[in-house]
Amino acid sequence: MKSLPLHIEIDPAFYCKNPDSTELGRKIITYSIDMIDKLGFEAFTFRKLAKSIGSTESSIYRYFENKHALLAYLFCWYWSWKEYQLVFATNNLEDPGTKLKEAIRILTEEVTEDSSVSYINEVTLHRIIIAESAKVYLTKAVDTENEKGYFRVYKRVVSRVGSFALELNPDYEFPHMLVSTIIEGSHAQRFFSDHLPSLTDTETGKQNIVRFYTEMTFKTIAR
Amino acid sequence: MKSLPLHIEIDPAFYCKNPDSTELGRKIITYSIDMIDKLGFEAFTFRKLAKSIGSTESSIYRYFENKHALLAYLFCWYWSWKEYQLVFATNNLEDPGTKLKEAIRILTEEVTEDSSVSYINEVTLHRIIIAESAKVYLTKAVDTENEKGYFRVYKRVVSRVGSFALELNPDYEFPHMLVSTIIEGSHAQRFFSDHLPSLTDTETGKQNIVRFYTEMTFKTIAR
DNA sequence: GCAAATATAATAGTAATGCTATCATTTTTA
DNA sequence: TAAAAATGATAGCATTACTATTATATTTGC
């Protein structure tokens, strides 16, 4: 992915005070990405975060209602970033097959370069998305949060890539199921690859996850 | 599924004291399934569980180290039950295609009948598996727990169904990835169907999830 | 350059969670 | 029927997930 001066704006529903607007806010994002990655979401607390930043719990609460809202913010940021990549990479492509292939690559490949935004480490963020993002929606609050628009960007990504599949085969019945399977499936595979390798078939350097989901998709939607 | 007097034995690694061996233990299982379903895993506590059973926190701690271990127990029980169903339904089948089709049905269809074990409600348990089971492995403790054998049964299921796929096409490169995608994917689809329907394509009574994963699988492994 | 507004830090406090420990009382079993 | 085992009652403690108050910086608008 190209390194461009990129600015991602997040819907105010995700925060009390925009973390992108102040030094402390940006520090909260930078350090929380690091801490969630290191401690895991359960052991991560605002108290620990405050201590590592050299600030206080109450200051952090001015930016986010609680740690779940912060995770949702990161989730939204990640999908806004992916959406941007998708648009950028497919805008000028004519052939629907190439477009879909590019999209699957963007959704399933490893993130290895930290480039786009100065205070956000995309490589670490991707690891958090793999290990923690299901926790954003696997809660009893999912319906309320859905109403607040927490999943709007994610849905837009699924819908966009689903429409690429429909360009190839307008009769295909399950485009959303296909795309959300690719996304959630590939995250699971990356996690399994690191921790429960017998549940997957990855081999170093062979891009098997990208290959599997690409082949699966094209065979599945073929008429 | 047939209603048989079924006994599922769970590896002692999952508990301090076998809940299947006493009245209180069985009550813990029955009520915890209910409470986790109603409150969600985060809001579920041993204190609340004890109160609803009419027992005490310390008594419950004699059976399970903590609520995460209890969830892991339920996860293991569920997969042992599914493994039994898989063996039972495919044992006498000759045709590899039929076997694989049956297996996918068992892995992806809704659980609507509560039958096998008196004190375990399989319908509710299935809802818990859909909404909470990822939390069993999405933790920092996953590697330690893997060493303790927490995922042995789940792996065996993936390996068994993977081998059905290989019977159909011995050259297929990604059998484990395929099966774990079917399992994790179909759970996500059932959750999305209830809470984020635009991420899936379900229609009442049409068994779209089973159909999607069946078609996907056969097309994907076709030579 | 200074007052007013705003943001942050420091500190305290509270209810709930996630345990552990002790001891009394049942219940089981040998 | 005595000993062993399981359960219940009670207490306690460190941590979590907040909320509130006040003091101190920092920004900004005039």
- Tell me the HSE value of B135 on the side-chain side, using a 13 A CA sphere: 23
Sign of CA dihedral A13, B44, A47, A34: negative
In terms of CATH architecture, what is B74-221? Orthogonal Bundle (1.10)
| For range B115-133, the mean pLDDT | 91
Task: Quote the CATH superfamily of domain A12-221.
Answer: Tetracycline Repressor, domain 2 (1.10.357.10)
**pLDDT over threshold 50, residue A55:** yes
- Specify the pLDDT at position A2: 45
User: Measuring CA to CA, which residue among B86, B89, B90, B85 is closest to residue B116?
Assistant: B85
Judge: A137–B216 Cβ closer than 8 Å, yes or no: no
Residue-wise pLDDT for A120-131, tens only, equals: 999 999 999 999
Minimum distance, in Å, between the CA of residue A193 and any CA atom of chain B: 10
B96 DSSP assignment: H
Residues of A in contact with B202 (CB under 8 A): 177
Give me the percent of chain A exceeding a pLDDT of 90: 93
Predicted confidence (pLDDT) at residue B5 exceeds the cutoff of 90: no
Q: What is the mean pLDDT of chain B?
A: 95
Mean pLDDT over B69-91 rounds to 97
Chain D bases closer than 7 angstroms to a protein Cβ = 6-11, 15-21
- Percent share of chain B, pLDDT over 70: 97
Residues B85 and B1 sit within 8 Å (Cβ to Cβ):
yes
Domain boundaries, chain B: 74-221
Which of A163, A196, A209 to substitute to test the interface with B, most B CBs within 10 Å? A196
Does the pLDDT value for residue B1 go beyond 60? no
Segment (H or E) for B51? helix B46-53
Asked if B214 and B105 count as a contact pair (C-beta separation under 8 A), the reply is yes
pLDDT tier at B7, thresholds 50, 70, 90: confident
Amino acid A4: pLDDT: 55
Q: Which residue is nearest to nucleotide D9 (CA to C1')?
A: B56
The pLDDT score that the predictor gives to residue B2 is 45
Percentage of chain B modeled with pLDDT above 90: 93
pLDDT range class, residue B4, cuts 50, 70, 90: low
A121: region left, alpha or beta (phi > 0 left; psi from -120 to 50 alpha): beta
| In the predicted structure, residue A115 carries a pLDDT above the cut 90 | no
Work out the average pLDDT over B84-101.
96
Taking the C-alpha atoms of residue B141 and residue B163, their distance in angstroms, rounded to an integer, is: 29
pLDDT at A216 over 90: yes
Q: Following DSSP, what letter does each residue of B134-197 receive, concatenated? A: HHHHSSTTHHHHHHTTTTHHHHHHHHHHHHHHHHH-TT-S-HHHHHHHHHHHHHHHHHHHHH-G
State the Cα–Cα distance between residues A101 and A181, nearest whole angstrom: 15
The reply to whether residue A198 touches residue B155, judged by beta carbons under 8 angstroms, is: yes
Residue B19 CA to nucleotide C25 C1', Å?
A: 22
